[in-house]
Amino acid sequence: MLNNIGLPGLLLIAVVVLVLFGRGKISSLMGEVGKGITAFKKGVDEGKQELEDQAAEEAKDVTPEEEKDKV
């Protein structure tokens, strides 16, 4: 469906959106989208770090469960 739009169609859509919303509204909207993307990337990185930390913590203690009870 989107394959048939082409460059002239995209330009027409961009002009219509610009006329409807105005330059200031679009600019602020794009700023909010950028902040959302940044927050998403930060959350993904923190999640990866948490999983790596958890795996490292599990790898540190290799004592069998039976041995832990004896100590």
- Model confidence over 16-37: pLDDT tens digits? 988 888 888 888 888 999 999 9
In a domain, 69, yes or no: no
Determine the structural domain holding residue 34 and report its residue range: 23-59
Measured CA to CA, the distance from residue 71 to residue 67 in angstroms comes to 7
Distances in Å between the alpha carbon of 29 and those of 25, 26, 35, 39? Answer: 6, 5, 10, 15
Residue with token string 């394959």? 3
Q: How confident is the model at residue 40 (pLDDT cuts 50, 70, 90)?
A: very high
Number of domains in the chain: 1
6 is a domain residue? no
Q: What is the pTM of this model?
A: 0.54
Q: Does residue 9 sit within a domain?
A: no
